Structure 1
Amino acid sequence: MSKTITGLPMRRLNVMLWSIFWVELCVAAVPLGLKALQEGINAQYRKNYEKALEYYTQAIDSGELSKETLALAYNNRADAWVATAHYYKALIDYNEAIKLDPRASYFNRRGILEAKLEQYDKAIKDYSESIKRDKTKAYVYNNRGWAYYKQRNFDAAIRDFDQAIKLNPRYAFAYDNRGWVRFRKGEREEALRDLSRAIQLEPNNPEFYNDRGVVLTDLEKFDDALRDFEKALSLKPDYTEALKNQQIARKAKKGINLERLKSINFGK
């Protein structure tokens, strides 16, 4: 009978100790830049953005990363800058990532930031470049469609939402966005169908109920609209737009003359 320590045979224990030593040796051999990059990713996953920024900066400054990995570090640091509302620092980092590795996802990320800064021409250009490099991502068409909407190019927006839905028939946000643009075009019944489909796909999204409530208010279906605003507020009690829209619908139901569309706080 073999001698055991803590219940394990000595031979098996020796194998385990050697395995632990080998793992530690491999970890020690990982370049510090890669270690910092991984720590940055871990911190960002935990939403500790300040730490993530520190680690990504260490990784970038290490001089040990390959061109593609360095681009990833810049892209991820840009995401962390966005999360901490340092938008122009983020833009610089997205630019660096794209210079090093002009991949579709980086153009999309920069486009999102440009749209946030209301630079819609630049955002559309970046989304288009992303689509040119990868035509399979429904969310990029959705993003470009929303930028077109913000420029009041409703037809181009709807074409992009159509394509997003074609690529992903269960893409609730694309249905919601297409419904909203149809509403702004005056196509209220078509809008209602799209918004109802969005709710069917994601029944716990308060924004979808708010949007449908706005359309129902404009159609003077006040009871239905109020139910939607109530649902939106039950899902998100601090939803300011839904609360304002609910008040408008209540006044309209009482017969107070409200100018259609202009009186409604779209929140978009």
Structure 2
Amino acid sequence: KGKCSDSFYVGGDQVNTQGRQVKIPNLGWLKMAESIKYGGHIHSMTISRRADKWYVSFSIDVEVSMLPSESQARCGVDLGINKLATLSRGSIRYWETPKPLQQSLRKLARYQRRLVKKTKTSNGYNKLNMKIARLHQRIANIRRNTLHQLTTYLVKNFQEIVIEDLNVKGMMSNAKLARHIADVGFYEARRQLEYKSAWFQRTLTIANRWFPSSKLCSDCGSKNSDLALSQRTYQCACGNSKCRDYNASINLENYTARSAEIYAAGDNGSALAT
């Protein structure tokens, strides 16, 4: 089979669609799973393969309808491992993370143990390799779908959203947490929030990386520099007792550029503590 690309580009002048059919140069008309949902001029399309399925992605000029936010409120969002997101306000306080990779590790390991015993290029090797590819694709789809649900909920319900500027690369250097962090998809969550906020004219505020959201009391503002990662409840001398993540989300909601300047000089905040 040699080296080949699993995707190719087709310019707009060669793109032709009719309902659920698309015309591919040199291949002819092929059936799609669904028709194009949006009207507008098609600039181009990219056809790519993921596992054993082929997908077509269209670049289309469309008018994005700006939906009014159901609330003009500001919402702090604390992203984490145990909970995908903790919100400072709204009807949904916690978003659970499905942990798709963690749930599939045993099956993935079983497939990979069997794969190393197969002869490369054999039919059995190719079939098992495709099973592994399909499993990885399913894991990615579950993660991506959950993040789309979260980010869409946020931009439709809040006028301003505040998240942390997490040092994902630095967090991944922690061997004990690296796989769990990768399973959540912090970077993808931020990427989706950035373009969806632009679409719906929302304000996305990125809190300074050194802002210690998890170590500040959301009631009195005092700082507990000795707060350990294992302490999941924030206890303060003022009487404040809240879930650590919820306390952090309130601090993010109240975040200002001035507060960033105050804490920028020292503590590395909650990059690993969320």
**Which TM-score applies when normalising by structure 1?**
0.24
Higher strand share: 2
Q: Relative contact order, CA 8 A, sep 6+: which one is greater? A: 2
Find the structure with the greater CA-based Rg.
1
